[in-house]
Each structure stands twice: as C-alpha cells, then as structure tokens.
Amino acid sequence: MYRVLLIFVFLCWTAGCAQYDQDKKRKAMVTNQLIARGINDPATLRAMRKVPREAFVPKSIREHAYQDNPLPIGQGQTISQPYIVAFMTQILQLKPNYKVLEIGTGSGYQAAVLAEIVRSVYTIEIVEELGVSAKKVFQKLGYTNVITRIGDGYNGWEEHAPFDAIIVTAGIEEIPQPLLDQLAEGGRMIIPVGPSNQRNLVLVTKKKGKIKTKKVLPVRFVPFVREKGEN
Ligand code: SAH
C-alpha cells in the first residue's frame, strides 16, 4: 500500500516538475525571443505567455518546444519559430470582437494564440492528419472558438466571410484573389509571398475597397500546396 502511494506521489511530483519547467521556459521565451526583438503588443505577449506550445509538438521533441526555431510536426511540415508567430499576430492589430481566418492550421499553435485574443478563428489545413490532430488539441485545451476544416485554403471560407484579419502560414508566389475578396473593409492580412528562395511577409490592408501591400520581413516558409484539379 505504502509503495503504491509512494510511486503515486513520485509520479505527481515529476509531472509537476515537468510542467513547472515548461512554464519557466515559456516565460523565458517571451522575454528573450519576443520582447528582446521588439514585440510589444500586450495582447500578443499575454497570449504567447499562456498557450502551451509543448502541447502542439510531437511528444518526442516536447523538451525543445521553446527553442528559438521552427520544429518538425510530421508530414514534412513545421511549427513556426515563436518569434514569427508573435510577429504575425502583432501586425494584425487584433481586437477582441474579430473573426480571423487562418490558412495552414499545421500543429494548431498559431490558431490557439489567435484564439486567446479574438472571438473566433476559422482555420483550414490541407493535410488531413495534421488537421485532425490539431482539432484534438483544441478540444483538449478548451479552444471552443477555433473552427477547423480540412481542405485547400486557396479559396478561403466563403460562408464565414468577410474576415477582420487573415493569416496565411504557407509560402505562395502570389496572393490568392479569393482571400483579398474575403478580407473585411479595414481588415489586415499577413502572408508569406514570393518565389521560394526569396519570400517576404507581406502586410495587406483594405481601405475603402482599395488594397495596399507592404513587404515587412524576409522569411522562409513551407510551400502552399494546391489540391489536385484546383486552380
Ligand atoms: N500555423 C502552423 C504552421 C504550419 S506550416 C502552426 O502554427 O503550426 C504550414 C501549413 O500549411 C502546413 O501544415 C501545410 O500542410 C499547410 N498548407 C499548405 N498549403 C495549404 C493549403 N492550400 N490549404 C491549407 N493548408 C495548407
């Protein structure tokens, strides 16, 4: 009996320690990788301090969850570097009542960060295994304001448009016209655009129906892929 109790206490203690360790690493990531590089939007920093990035990476690399780089999430895809997630979130100037569209759910981490700030996040993933696994993590962590869909995000999500903000997390040669159409008046979109070896994050704004674009940061992103038969 005592032995069972002892094992139980030991297990709780190690689990607690592991959690404490991840919480410490998350706080350090915010200070050393985000604030140190100029991220200063309070809502973005609050969300990055809260979302457990370790829950979105494969178990085998959980201890590396807060490293200053992208990490593999299977299916040849990656979870973006924390700084890039924060940068893209901050530049959207999100407000609590916003409805946001994300193309490229991947691990689900970016969607969870957005979901901490806005009313609802619609996110589309083309690789079924990734979309299904991200949905499970959203359910487990209680992100009921994230709505998922499996498919090609090129055409956006017409039924729920317009979106106050759009974020694309896969690199593409040109900005898809349907996404420009589905951006609300006064809305902002952030998207990695250009040929694969020289992409830039491009900030798109729509004012009085007029689209403006501005290159804001050179980046590397996994490629945007199209479903067969789509164009
Ligand atoms: N936001 C993700 C980053 C994922 S990497 C995260 O936080 O983890 C980019 C993702 O875009 C990949 O999972 C890839 O499968 C997906 N993707 C690529 N082309 C797509 C398309 N046409 N529609 C939807 N998702 C796409």
| Domains, in order of start, for the chain | 2-218 (3.40.50.150)
Whole-number pLDDT of residue 8: 56
User: To test the ligand 1 pocket, which listed residue (100, 110, 137, 222) has its Cβ within 8 A of the most ligand atoms?
Assistant: 222
In this prediction, residues 1-27 reach a mean pLDDT of 74
Whole-number pLDDT of residue 229: 59
pTM metric for this prediction: 0.94
Q: Is the pLDDT assigned to residue 231 strictly greater than 60?
A: no
Q: Is the pLDDT assigned to residue 128 strictly greater than 80?
A: yes
Q: What is the mean pLDDT of the chain?
A: 94
Whole-number pLDDT of residue 17: 79
CA 144–ligand 1 middle distance (angstroms): 20
Q: Whose CA is nearest to atom 26 of ligand 1?
A: 104
Whole-number pLDDT of residue 16: 74
* Cα gap 219→204, rounded to integer Å: 16
Catalytic positions, please? Answer: 80
Q: What is the DSSP letter of 80?
A: P
Q: What is the pLDDT of residues 184-228, one digit of tens each?
A: 999 999 999 999 889 999 999 999 999 999 999 999 999 999 987
In this prediction, residues 133-156 reach a mean pLDDT of 98
Q: Which helix (H) or strand (E) holds 190?
A: strand 183-193
Question: What is the DSSP code string of 111-175?
Answer: HHHHHTTSSEEEEEESSHHHHHHHHHHHHHHT-TTEEEEES-GGG--GGG--EEEEEE-SBBSS-
Q: Is the pLDDT assigned to residue 148 strictly greater than 80?
A: yes
User: To test the ligand 1 pocket, which listed residue (80, 126, 226) has its Cβ within 8 A of the most ligand atoms?
Assistant: 126
CA 107–ligand 1 middle distance (angstroms): 9
Q: What is the pLDDT of residues 48-78, one digit of tens each?
A: 999 999 999 999 999 999 999 999 999 999 9
pLDDT band at 10 (very low <50, low <70, confident <90, very high): low
Question: What percentage of the chain carries pLDDT values higher than 70?
Answer: 92
Within 6 Å (CB) of ligand 1, which residues are found? 77-80, 103-104, 106-107, 109-110, 124-127, 130, 152-154, 169-170, 222, 224-226
CA 51–ligand 1 middle distance (angstroms): 19
Place of tokens 């593999």: 72
CA 197, 202, 207 angle in degrees (round to 5)? 160
Whole-number pLDDT of residue 100: 99
Provide the edge-to-edge strand list for the sheet that holds 199-207: 146-150, 120-125, 99-103, 163-168, 183-193, 199-207, 210-219
CA 93–ligand 1 middle distance (angstroms): 22
Q: What is the pLDDT of residues 66-109, one digit of tens each?
A: 999 999 999 999 999 999 999 999 999 999 999 999 999 999 99
Whole-number pLDDT of residue 5: 60
Whole-number pLDDT of residue 83: 98
Whole-number pLDDT of residue 73: 95
